[in-house]
Amino acid sequence: MRLADLRGRSVAVWGSGREGVAAAAAIAAHGPARLVAVDDTVNFLSLDWARSRAKDVPLVTGDDCHDALMGADVIVRSPGVPQTHRWVVEARERGITVTGGTALWMADHAAATVGVTGSKGKSTTSSLISHLLGAAGRPNVFGGNIGVPVLDLPPSDQYVLELSSYQCSDLTDSPRVAVVTALFPEHLDAHGGEREYYRDKLNLIAHGPETVVVNGLDERLAAEIGDRPAVRAGLPDSYHVRDGMVYRAGTPLFERAVLPLVGRHNERNLCVALAVLEALGIDTVATADTLATAAKSFAALPHRLTEIEDPSGLTFVDDTLATSPYASMHAIDAYDGRPLTVIVGAPTGDSTTPRCASTWPAASSP
């Protein structure tokens, strides 16, 4: 379904945060017969609707929310509204189309888009792809889950998007290059379970992408995609790191040390990014020096293994976006061989806790 398909239809935008505002404004320009926005407090990032650029779209709240949604032909849900919400289930049972703003946008822009998802690594990898593309002379627009909602993006010949599982789940078109960085259980309550989460995440690659690029060293991801054609970055026949060098198969490109990000997982993110550049027609061997210079200038994203200077001589590392034990395990691995104290805020008893304790006995948790 495209935005143009909403002309003459009754549409309800569910959510009044950034995504909801962007969707309402975009849909209003395409002539729906009826358009309302619904805020039932599900989206905790709700904005002041009266001051938003979608202020002319009526906002329904309180007890009228359910009827406003069920009276629509099409519901455009914000990512904060889970697929498991009882009203989403009811709407589909009634034959109402439920989609998202990202899906509407992708239907018109898939051929010009690199879409990146993953249980972890998608922000860094998508940012790195955009950065390297720019250095290689390929201007691009970057957005999605990490920044500007896709329906607010300006026109471009090339887009790079970070996509969450919530955004991927609605897609009916895959981007030209579909990228998956890692796969492990996350957000299970919002998806209904582990199998459903993997299904929604991998919906990114389910609708005919030209190229699929994955982290070939992620065992769970490898098991889920099976023998599907894909570029498996990290393996010896693709981009990989060996003996301190980044290789394209057997050809050395540049030193791994030029990338100022710690951890083997970031080496894999770099390999995935290079594979994407090749999928877009960039000769990474011929441009290796340019790419090395660009990689050297890439800065770590906030709260992702960000080292903080301290006069005590201790190294403090801000990795507060590592909300999953799996992500924390990669962070601990990045400082292998150094005494660590891990400050955590999650409940104890997670099934991964024993694995962390046995794998990194030097790490303590106060």
Q: How many domains does the chain have?
A: 3
Q: Do residues 111 and 229 share a domain?
A: yes
Torsion angles phi and psi, residue 124, rounded to 5:
-60, -45
Element (DSSP H or E) covering residue 160: strand 159-162
| pTM for the structure as a whole | 0.85
Beta-sheet strands, E only, within 218-295: 231-233, 239-242, 245-248, 251-255
Last residue of a domain, one of 277, 296, 315: 296
Element (DSSP H or E) covering residue 293: helix 288-296
Distance between start and end Cα atoms, the chain: 51
Residue 317 lies in a domain: yes
Residue 235 lies in a domain: yes
Q: Do residues 88 and 173 share a domain?
A: no
Q: What is the CATH number of the domain that holds 166?
A: 3.40.1190.10
Helices assigned H by DSSP within the chain: 18-28, 65-70, 86-93, 101-109, 122-135, 165-168, 188-191, 194-202, 219-225, 264-279, 288-296, 325-334, 353-359
Q: Provide the domain limits for residue 344.
A: 306-364
94: left (phi over 0), alpha (psi -120 to 50) or beta: alpha
Q: Do residues 40 and 178 share a domain?
A: no
Crossing angle of the two packed helices 101-109 and 18-28, in degrees rounded to 10: 60
Per-residue pLDDT of the chain (366 residues; tens, 9 = 90+): 999 999 999 999 999 888 999 999 999 999 999 999 998 765 445 778 888 888 899 999 989 999 999 999 999 999 889 899 999 999 999 999 999 999 999 999 999 999 999 988 899 999 999 999 999 999 999 999 877 899 999 999 999 999 999 999 999 999 999 999 999 877 666 666 788 889 999 999 999 999 999 999 999 999 999 999 999 999 999 999 999 999 999 999 999 999 999 889 999 999 999 999 999 999 999 999 999 999 999 987 655 566 677 787 777 766 665 666 665 665 666 666 677 777 776 554 445 555 544 444 444 444
Which pairing describes strands 177-180 and 211-215: parallel, antiparallel, or unpaired? Answer: parallel
Rounded Cα distance, 185 and 345, in Å:
18
Last residue of a domain, one of 69, 95, 121: 95
Residue 301 lies in a domain: no
Q: Do residues 167 and 250 share a domain?
A: yes
Last residue of a domain, one of 72, 95, 118: 95
Residue 351 lies in a domain: yes
